[in-house]
Amino acid sequence: MALSDLELLLDVAELGSFSQAAAKRGWSQPQVSQRISLLEQQWDVRLFTRHRRGAVATNACQAFLAAARQSLTAYRQGLEAMQGTPSVPRIRLSCLPSLTSPVFGPLLMKLADAPMEIRCGTDHSQQIMQDLLTGQVEVGFVLKCPAMAGIQMELLWRSPIVAVVAAHHPLADCRTPLALADLARHRIAPQFWGDECESLIQQIRMLRQLPSPIHAVQPASAARELVLRHRFVSFMPELSIKADLQDGTLVRLCLPELPAWHWEVMMAWRAGKRVDAAKTLVLDAARALADG
């Protein structure tokens, strides 16, 4: 028996699916099914009850899982000690590039002294969801997207789309409500957030006196750079520039006719019956961050 067999058993038991365990490894579903069948023959015991929607660990399998986890933990701790790496849990987080500043920075500050090591990466929402499913990432922060079997999702922020300029922009000193027509003569570069952004661009284009381009950019850092250094007006999720608005680097414009558009940020993680202390700390810290 190989250690990979223990990992396979745990994955199938936690995911409740041969196909999801296969996806995590880049295997085919028949490969997983064949390997589990060989283990059942070797041990002369039924490990999983198969059904149309997945697989459920039998009582015999459940009795073995605790020992399997202990064996894998002991092996990994011994390997880390031999390699001189910390014997603390390591957890991988992923978010949209536009969320790195409002999420990763504050979250790592909250968890700076927690007994874990954190690895952070960025990607688009659909890839993050796939990485969660295959075990490449433990916790992801994505825009609202269709639910995926085996992945739990929780709304953290519903951030309004706001019009902003740099503090030195001529519109920054305007004390009265503005109309879209007042912005139309300025350089404009919204942070692209979806079909609603294209609708906004069309509205502004119709108000322009002379034909001139309207740029839509990603990520938030690109839109922010255009606003701060090149006197652009931008429309951005408030969450992605929260710190800039608080310290006055960017100024939010009063634009009553702007529709109530929002950016919905979800926290996502793979469902499982086994309690993961490091993951629980991250989930709780993110919830506290959103509540604050």
Q: Three-class SS string for 191-213?
A: ECCCHHHHHHHHHHHHHCCCCCC
Span of 11-20, 69-78, 217-226 with lowest mean pLDDT: 69-78
Mean pLDDT of 197-221: 90
The β-bridge partners of 93 are 120, 139
Specify the pTM.
0.69
Report the alpha-carbon angle 15-19-22, nearest 5: 90
pLDDT score recorded for residue 130 = 83
pLDDT score recorded for residue 274 = 73
User: How far is it, in rounded angstroms, from Cα 215 to Cα 23?
Assistant: 38
Give the pLDDT confidence of 229-282 residue by residue, as tens digits: 999 999 999 999 999 999 999 999 999 988 899 999 999 998 777 778 889 999
Mean pLDDT of the chain: 90
Percent of the chain topping pLDDT 70:
98
Written as one string, the DSSP assignment of 115-181 is SSEEEEEE--HHHHHHHHHTTS-SEEEEES----TTEEEEEEEEEEEEEEEETTSGGGG--S---HH
Q: How confident is the model at residue 86 (pLDDT cuts 50, 70, 90)?
A: low
pLDDT score recorded for residue 70 = 85
User: How far is it, in rounded angstroms, from Cα 183 to Cα 8?
Assistant: 58
User: How far is it, in rounded angstroms, from Cα 164 to Cα 172?
Assistant: 8
Give the pLDDT confidence of 11-44 residue by residue, as tens digits: 899 888 998 888 888 888 899 999 999 999 999 9
CA quadruple 214, 215, 220, 225: dihedral, nearest 10: -90
> What residue ranges define each of the domains in the chain, with the CATH number in brackets?
3-83 (1.10.10.10), 88-291 (3.40.190.290)
